A = this chain, B = another copy of it.
Amino acid sequence: MGLPNHFDLVATDGEARTGKLTTPHGVVRTPAFMPVGTAGAMKGLHWREVRDAGADIVLGNTYHLMLRPGAERIAALGGLQAFTGWNGPMLTDSGGFQVMSLAQLRKVSESAVTFRSHIDGLSFELSPERAIELQRLLGSDIAMQLDECVRLPAERGDIERAMQLSLRWAERGKRAFETAPAGYMLFGIAQGGDVPELRRASALSLAGIGFHGYAIGGLAVGEPQSVMLAMIEEVAPILPRDRPRYLMGVGTPEDMLEAVARGIDMFDCVMPTRNGRHGMAFTRFGQINLRNARHADDPRPLDEESLWPSTQRCSRAYLHHLVRSGETLGAMLLSEINIAYYQRLMADIRDAISQRALASFRERTRADWEKGDIPPR
């Protein structure tokens, strides 16, 4: 309890909220989508393009950065912002999620998780305290507690055990964060899988411990969207109203729109860049597959009403050609186009909430997505 609050709620509309989160490296307008700069770089985008697209904050992966180039090295080079040249707010995850998904020979104990690097096989130990130390070395504006995330479907017993361990790690993480300078933040993570009472218990305990903000973890890991939304509905009302709420690893534009309507403020996901590398564009008309032969002779842009230059100008025929030819520029353009779409959606959502018009915006936006792409010529 008692951690200073850096979040200002500006307006609400039903459960949805818009606000400003003040970090040491700048202000984040919420709801916010955080593009994922895995190992200190966005795949296919320059930082200036991330900024131009409207992102206030980006996410870095502690697991990747601790292995290469190393958190101590980044600290010696002045922290993640100085290192990468992204001069804005950064959130880092704890490393735990990627230890679970990427590392080899991992072993979870009460004290820590041990694993071998997927790059060179070297052994590492990640404890709740070391997770905080790493993120402090990186200079993250927002650090995440170490938690254990269970892939769904899973047994209730496994979900509960991981949730309880995550709570004990939350307390240890909070103690380890006590020496952080003013303005830097630590978020706790609610777990509990797809079990409503475990989700509620986790959120309640976390709120009791007290953090600068609260994340919902362990979702978008294979469960249906309806389960994800139901879990948000269980957890959000329990989390302190005046603190930011972050739904980790989510998601599609529709996931985000629905989660905002249930009180979520922050998101991150690799989908816009990953799908961009696979020839997919996110637009007002839903997702468009540029590999499809229907685009080969189509001189029209993806969306002539878009305010983003590449979306409004690059022809479908050109994008199709680049994707089919495996040209890097295809991945670069589609990643940029998708990040810009995600940021535009967030900006429109913030405007709609400010005008207490989210319901009609949501209806209109969903109708556009469902209508699908413009007909072929």
Contact = CB atoms under 8 A, between A and B. Distances in A.
A68 B297 contact: no
A204 interface: no
A246 B313 CA distance: 33
A34 B119 CA distance: 39
Contact of A329 (B43, B296, B325): B43
A12 B195 CA distance: 80
Nearest to A277: B328
A322 interface: yes
A315 B77 contact: yes
A39 interface: yes
B68 A325 contact: yes
B68 A322 contact: no
A153 interface: no
Contacts of A325: 39, 41, 68
Contacts of A314: 85
Interface string A67-85: 0110001001110001111
A328 B335 CA distance: 12
Contact of A315 (B46, B83, B315): B83
Contacts of A321: 39-40, 68-69, 83
A348 interface: no
Contacts of A327: 39-41, 43
Interface in A78-118: 78, 82-85
A27 interface: no
Interface in A6-51: 39-46
Given A46-B329, A77-B299, A328-B331, A318 B68 contact: no
B296 A73 contact: yes
Chain A contact-residue range equals 35 or more
Contacts of A297: 73, 76-77
A201 interface: no
A313 B324 CA distance: 34
A239 interface: no
Interface string A317-342: 11011101101111111000000000
Interface in A266-324: 296-297, 299, 313-315, 317-318, 320-322, 324
Given A77-B299, A297-B76, A318 B85 contact: yes
Nearest to A67: B325
Given A73-B296, A299-B77, A84 B43 contact: no
A318 B314 CA distance: 31
B43 A328 contact: yes
Nearest to A336: B46
A45 to B, nearest CB: 8
Contacts of A318: 40, 77, 83-85
B329 A41 contact: yes
A40 B323 CA distance: 12
Contacts of A84: 318
Interface of A: 39-46, 68-69, 73, 76-78, 82-85, 296-297, 299, 313-315, 317-318, 320-322, 324-325, 327-333
Given A40-B327, A328-B332, 6 more contacts: A39-B327, A40-B318, A46-B333, A68-B324, A83-B321, A332-B332
22 contacts: A40-B322, A40-B327, A41-B322, A41-B329, A42-B329, A43-B329, A45-B329, A46-B332, A46-B333, A68-B321, A68-B325, A69-B317, A69-B321, A77-B299, A77-B318, A78-B299, A84-B318, A85-B314, A85-B318, A328-B328, A328-B331, A328-B332
